[in-house]
């Protein structure tokens, strides 16, 4: 049976849970990280030497890095449109997955930590506001793309929507000032209508 290690309120764990749910896969989730600890235990470090979540086990395979896990699940268990066999469609999905991690994650993290995760006395409002401004600039680029297509992956939901989709829930739930981005908001609305997104992503942030 598929097993994933990681607390359910982690954005990176949500990517895996949502992807598995979209694929109709049964997955056993084991709490780890944050208040649950475990990630520094030698047994866990033998699975993921980074001491981070998520980590997937599928029989003999042990895999860490949330985007790699999503790619693996889709490649092994997925069908179109989630699995894109056409190289150009696949590359378009990869592009958004990589962009979310390489470009959006750092400012998003500044906002999330200082608006949600840290205790109020630890929060840095300057860091949060700078992060909000940077995210707003980056999400304006996403909004422009979504003016011409319903999903980041094209005409149907695909892997490319998964990382940003998980971040979008937090973005729209956090007590921050957001710019009005109508196409992004419509895309998010479409996400919230999906049962698997409701089940796996629209859950506690803390």
Ligand X SMILES: N[C@@H](CCC(=O)N[C@@H](CS)C(=O)NCC(=O)O)C(=O)O
First to last CA, the chain: 28
Residue 10 binding ligand X, by CB under 6 A: yes
Question: Among 25, 30, 31, 34, which residue sits at the site for ligand X (rule: CB under 6 A)?
Answer: 34
Residue 165, CA distances (Å) to 49, 118, 192 in order: 27, 23, 10
C-alpha torsion 68→74→80→86, nearest 10: 40
Question: Among 21, 33, 169, 171, which residue sits at the site for ligand X (rule: CB under 6 A)?
Answer: 33
Question: Among 3, 30, 57, 65, which residue sits at the site for ligand X (rule: CB under 6 A)?
Answer: 65
Return the bridge partners of 2, or none: 27
Residue 48 binding ligand X, by CB under 6 A: no
Return the bridge partners of 101, or none: none
Q: At closest approach, how far in Å is the CB of 157 from ligand X? A: 20
How many separate helices (H) and strands (E) can be counted in the chain?
9, 4
Question: Among 2, 4, 66, 191, which residue sits at the site for ligand X (rule: CB under 6 A)?
Answer: 66
Q: At closest approach, how far in Å is the CB of 78 from ligand X? A: 19
Residue 12 binding ligand X, by CB under 6 A: yes
Residues 191 and 114: their CA atoms lie apart, in Å, by: 25
Residue 11 binding ligand X, by CB under 6 A: yes
Structure tokens that stand for 95 in this block: 């592009």
* Pick 126 or 206: Cβ nearer ligand X: 206
Using CB under 6 A, which of the segments 31-39, 144-152, 184-192, 198-206 binds ligand X?
31-39
Most distant CA atoms of the chain, gap in Å: 50
Nearest position to ligand X, beta carbon: 33
Can you list the alpha helix ranges (DSSP code H) found in 48-153? 66-77, 87-99, 105-112, 125-146
Q: At closest approach, how far in Å is the CB of 194 from ligand X? A: 21
Q: At closest approach, how far in Å is the CB of 193 from ligand X? A: 25
Using CB under 6 A, which of the segments 61-69, 85-93, 127-135, 185-193 binds ligand X?
61-69
Return the bridge partners of 56, or none: 4, 63
Residues at the site binding ligand X, with contacts judged by CB under 6 A: 10-12, 33-34, 39, 52-54, 65-67
């Amino acid at each position: 049976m598929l097993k994933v290690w990681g607390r359910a309120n982690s954005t990176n764990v949500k990517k895996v849970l949502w992807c598995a749910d979209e694929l109709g896969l049964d997955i056993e989730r084991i709490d780890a990280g944050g208040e649950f600890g475990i990630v520094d235990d030698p047994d866990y470090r033998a699975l993921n030497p980074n001491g981070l979540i998520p980590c997937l086990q599928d029989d003999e395979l042990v895999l860490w890095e949330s985007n790699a896990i999503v790619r693996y699940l889709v490649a092994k268990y997925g069908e179109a449109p989630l699995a894109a066999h056409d190289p150009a469609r696949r590359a378009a999905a990869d592009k958004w997955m990589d962009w979310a991690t390489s470009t959006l994650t750092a400012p998003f993290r500044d906002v999330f930590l200082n608006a949600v995760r840290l205790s109020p006395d630890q929060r840095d409002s300057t860091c949060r506001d700078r992060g909000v401004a940077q995210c707003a600039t980056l999400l304006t680029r996403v909004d422009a793309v979504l003016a011409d297509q319903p999903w980041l992956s094209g005409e149907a939901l695909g892997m490319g929507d998964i990382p940003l989709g998980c971040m979008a829930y937090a973005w729209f739930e956090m007590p921050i000032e957001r710019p009005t981005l109508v196409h992004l908001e419509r895309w998010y609305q479409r996400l919230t209508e999906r049962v698997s997104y409701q089940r796996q992503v629209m859950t506690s942030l803390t």
